[in-house]
Amino acid sequence: MGLLKIFSSKKPQEYEQKGDELLAAKEYGAAKIEYEAALDRVEKVCPNDEHLKERIRQKLIQAKDSLARLHQQAGQELIEAEAFEQAEERLRLALELAEDPELVVEIEEQLRKIEDQMTEEVDDFPDFDLRRAEDAEDDPDYQERVDEYFTILCSSLPEQLAEAYQGYGDNFKIGYVALNHGDFDLALDKLKQAMEEIPSPSFIPLELAKVYLNLNQYQAAIPLLEALLKAHPDLLSGYQLLCEAYWGVENFDQAQKTLSSMPKELADSLPAQLLRGETLFRAKQYQEAESFYISCMESFGWDENLARGLAITYEALGEKEKALNLYGEIMDECRGCGFRIDPFIKQRYAELWFESGRECSTRILELFLSLVHEDPNNRAHYYKRISQIYAAQGDERQARRYQLFAKKLAEDEQQKPAGPEEAE
């Protein structure tokens, strides 16, 4: 897969005709891309042809709504299968595509139902105090709830780990549940006890190392993971965690040595290459990281994670135009395959476009508007950008409106009570 093609001599009508053929074949994602390319070409070669613009725009809306309905239908099927997280992802993608107001209302209603269902599940489970562990033996209900939650967590693990974890006893169960519940102090205590109870080698160090990493105690995690990998040299997750620990103490050379010591089949895999690339990036060896990612893309073909790593590296090198183009290509690949675009990719593309001084089209405005919902922690910044775009377009009313939104969020943030660390 090459990088995004910038130049084209094709006429808008050629893109439009290709879009028509794809639309008739019900290839809605591909048709959408062709119509978007047609509109971009109109802006370049005949920006005053409003009739052509409107004709293509209506076809684009038809393609987007048709694709949205496919995702809506898939989302509904996932709801019926009680796969609510996957359903939410499909429906949010549908909402991002939908132009028909009635369709938007339908999708929003489905999302509300999912939210209500997931809220009920969170409220209902687990509804116990994990720190009642001292009297767990005297409280069958507590132990039953721990077992139930533990079983659910294990169901998503590789078979080798899931089977092993079932035999590690109650302290491990409570520690593992506490780790996944965000109670790292309790997890640390219980997993240490479990390690004393269960003879080595076991996989308990893997979970205990996760606790140390969450507590930023990287040095404590390193010997656990090194010993674990001697016993289980084919455990990919162990290498991933050990690299994270080495990154935390800035021992990048040791991270690379560890990756070089992997069994050949694992060392040649894409996940191992991603760890090597990130190690180079974190070591600020940006030129080496750039060459490495390009070489990997030539060997493995198109991969979003490789492209993302390369785009971030371009940014670090100050190659903003290359980064912008590559983020754009990642977005095009997602649209063509009907996958939801990672908010990080949207954010970097929109931000780099804005910073470049280019005219911000409706497309860039829509990206920032969608990020308000997808990345709510940064809403104030997105509202500011939206206000600036409207101001540049001469829409002072909307510019003031979003400026007020940004101001109110900033004021609300200042009025929040300080956390324990801030208070100190």
> Domain coordinates of the chain in residue numbers?
12-122, 125-215
Q: Inform me whether the pLDDT recorded for 366 exceeds 70.
A: yes
User: Residue type at 312?
Assistant: I
Greatest Cα pair distance in the chain: 79
Six token digits for residue 249 = 């103490």
Q: Is the dihedral of CA 81, 85, 89, 91 positive or negative?
A: positive
Query: Which pLDDT tens digit goes with each residue over 219-243?
Result: 999 999 999 999 999 999 999 999 9
Under DSSP, is residue 329 helix (H, G, I), strand (E, B) or coil?
A: helix
pLDDT band at 377 (very low <50, low <70, confident <90, very high): confident
And the tokens for 292? 């490495």
Predicted local distance difference test score (pLDDT) of residue 2 = 45
Instruction: Give residue 370's identity as a one-letter amino acid code.
Output: S
**pLDDT averaged over every residue in the chain:** 87
| Helices and strands (H and E) in the chain: how many | 23, 0
What's the CA gap between 75 and 314, in Å, rounded? 36
**What's the rounded mean pLDDT across residues 204-226?**
97
Fold of the domain spanning 12-122: 1.25.40
Q: What is the pLDDT of residues 244-254, one digit of tens each?
A: 999 999 999 99
Higher pLDDT, 130 or 211: 211
Cα separation, 403 vs 397, in Å, equals 10
pLDDT for 243: 97
pLDDT tens per residue across span 111-164: 888 877 765 554 444 445 666 555 555 666 777 788 888 988 888 888 889 999
Residue 333 has what pLDDT?
Answer: 86
Encode burial over 237-255: b for 16+ CB neighbours within 10 A, e otherwise. bbbebbbbbbbbeebbebb
The enclosing H or E element of 104 equals helix 101-124
